[in-house]
Chain A
């Protein structure tokens, strides 16, 4: 099973994502913003990153850009999980290098399907 990093400033969202992914056996690590996520990922490899867009300290789009600059995370799937649904925001995410866009609230089955798909 895969190791997945979830980045969200809301504790309950992190809990729900972890709970959903743990239920099928994935290992989940948590970060509360982009800055903490980057610190956690130093010297550690994860198979997938699920990040919120609007967060304090460092937002999700900046996190994606920073990760894509690192050789280790050039091709790691990154899913954005956010309340944002405007096309302009999606485009920003796409341009930054995000793999997919999921609008909150997520359905656990739907999330697991997407995770399965992007993990191959």
Chain B
């Protein structure tokens, strides 16, 4: 009985057998029920199952008996011993791994899947963290480089601009001094400006021209006077003729007296002497007259020559004076034109100076962009550093959470070590700027209030 139970238990521990029996019985029942009554079908099925069970049991016994054909067969022949051996053989071996249950397998597979997905997510997270961390570092370097380059460039622009403006100011000042010099007032009669020079020159040249004209007038008057003198010399010539006529008559009278004296003889001798004296006087009178005429002729010749010269001179003077006056007027007008041009240039230079002053103001305002831009760029560093710090802490926390899990994530150690270098990079930045202050600067710039306020 115990052997039977043991065998039954052995058989029941073999589920495949029962499964086969149940399936066979089911098929047999299903096949016969349409053709025979149900109890006959059931009986037939049970018989078939029983037959199969007996056949299977027998076949199994034959299989199990096979190893006993060796040494063990010789050790015992009793059924009890054999059954014990069979029981030993059928009991689960410690060397064979137990096959897990299906649910356990499924649960394990799901856990594996989850783990793989988690690993994949972790890998992606690490990758993203790494890339953003590196990008933030690159951005920080680029921003600092931009700030530095802009500062250098602005410094150069500002210096050049300052030099240009200083030179332009000197140039404008010198031009103005030069031009304003031509517009200044005269002092102590000495002309200080082109305008004054024109005025003084005009006055003096006009004065000179007037003098020349006056001299020319005088010459004309002198010519007229000379005409009068010449007429008077001609009158003197007439008088001399009268004198000569009187002398001739006197000489004739003396000759008559001499004749009459000769006729009276000795008594007329004295009278003859008187007559000779009278004749001598008449002759001398004639001689004087001739000499006067000669002198008069010389005077007349001289006067005539002087008259000619004076006429030529007065005509030339007048012509020259008129020419000078004309030239002076022309020159004065030309100089006045130039002076007007100078005044216009001065005015234009003044206007340009005002325009330059306005442009300078605009440039000075615009050149301050570098300061404002640098502050805004520096302000961007702090949020970026925050991002990198947050990434670093998150990665550290992740790493601490499950070190075994992160072991499978490639490149994890390098990444974390790089993230650990972040404080060093930050220290370098903080040497140049205080990010907290920079951030305030940026926020501050967005605020409102008066541009200038005196407390």
Residues of A within 8 A of B (CB): 8, 10-13, 15-16, 19-20, 54, 56, 59, 82-87, 89-90, 93-94, 98-110, 114, 117-118
CB neighbours of A10 from chain B (8 A)? 151, 370-371, 374
A59 to B455, CA, bound (A): 20
Q: Is the CB of B368 within 8 A of A15?
A: no
The yes or no answer to B445 lying at the interface (CB within 8 A) is yes
B157 to chain A, nearest CB (A): 8
CB neighbours of B92 from chain A (8 A)? none
CB neighbours of B62 from chain A (8 A)? none
The yes or no answer to B432 lying at the interface (CB within 8 A) is yes
Q: Is the CB of B432 within 8 A of A56?
A: yes
Additional 20 contacts, C-beta under 8 A, given A11-B154, A104-B372: A11-B155, A12-B154, A12-B367, A12-B371, A15-B367, A54-B437, A56-B433, A56-B434, A83-B372, A84-B441, A84-B445, A85-B445, A86-B449, A93-B455, A94-B455, A101-B452, A103-B452, A106-B365, A106-B451, A108-B360
Residues of B within 8 A of A (CB): 151, 154-155, 157-159, 162, 165, 360-361, 364-372, 374-375, 432-434, 437-438, 440-441, 443-445, 447-455
B165 to A, closest residue via Cβ: A19
B154 to A, closest residue via Cβ: A12
Q: Is the CB of B158 within 8 A of A15?
A: yes
Query: 24 interchain pairs (CB within 8 A)?
Result: A10-B371, A12-B368, A12-B371, A16-B158, A16-B364, A82-B444, A83-B372, A83-B445, A84-B440, A85-B449, A86-B449, A87-B447, A93-B455, A94-B455, A100-B453, A101-B455, A103-B450, A104-B368, A105-B366, A105-B371, A106-B365, A106-B451, A109-B361, A117-B454
B100 to chain A, nearest CB (A): 68
CB neighbours of A117 from chain B (8 A)? 454
Q: Is the CB of A83 within 8 A of B365?
A: no
A102 to B, closest residue via Cβ: B452
Q: Is the CB of B162 within 8 A of A19?
A: yes
A98 to chain B, nearest CB (A): 6
Q: A19-B162, A117-B454 are in contact. Are A105 and B369 (CB under 8 A)?
A: yes
A74 to chain B, nearest CB (A): 15
Q: Is the CB of A101 within 8 A of B453?
A: yes
CB neighbours of B374 from chain A (8 A)? 10
Q: Is the CB of B448 within 8 A of A85?
A: yes
CB neighbours of A84 from chain B (8 A)? 440-441, 444-445, 447
Q: Is the CB of B371 within 8 A of A86?
A: no
Q: Is the CB of A99 within 8 A of B455?
A: yes
A47 to B162, CA, bound (A): 24
CB neighbours of B438 from chain A (8 A)? 54
B441 to chain A, nearest CB (A): 5
B455 to chain A, nearest CB (A): 5
CB neighbours of A8 from chain B (8 A)? 371
Q: A12-B371, A54-B375, A83-B375 are in contact. Are A99 and B441 (CB under 8 A)?
A: no
B156 to chain A, nearest CB (A): 10
Q: A11-B155, A54-B440, A54-B441 are in contact. Are A103 and B370 (CB under 8 A)?
A: no
A49 to chain B, nearest CB (A): 14
Q: Is the CB of A107 within 8 A of B361?
A: yes
Checking B162, B367, B370, B449 against A90 with a beta-carbon cut-off of 8 angstroms, the contacting residue is: B449
CB neighbours of A89 from chain B (8 A)? 444
A19 to B163, CA, bound (A): 10
Checking A85, A102, A104 against B447 with a beta-carbon cut-off of 8 angstroms, the contacting residue is: A85
Q: Is the CB of A15 within 8 A of B155?
A: yes
CB neighbours of B455 from chain A (8 A)? 93-94, 98-101
A50 to chain B, nearest CB (A): 12
B361 to A, closest residue via Cβ: A108
CB neighbours of A106 from chain B (8 A)? 364-365, 368, 451
A86 to B447, CA, bound (A): 5
Q: Is the CB of A107 within 8 A of B155?
A: no
B169 to chain A, nearest CB (A): 8
Checking A12, A87, A109, A118 against B449 with a beta-carbon cut-off of 8 angstroms, the contacting residue is: A87
B451 to A, closest residue via Cβ: A103
A53 to chain B, nearest CB (A): 8
CB neighbours of B365 from chain A (8 A)? 105-108
8 closest A-B pairs by beta carbon, nearest first, are: A105-B368, A84-B444, A100-B454, A10-B371, A12-B154, A15-B158, A86-B447, A85-B449
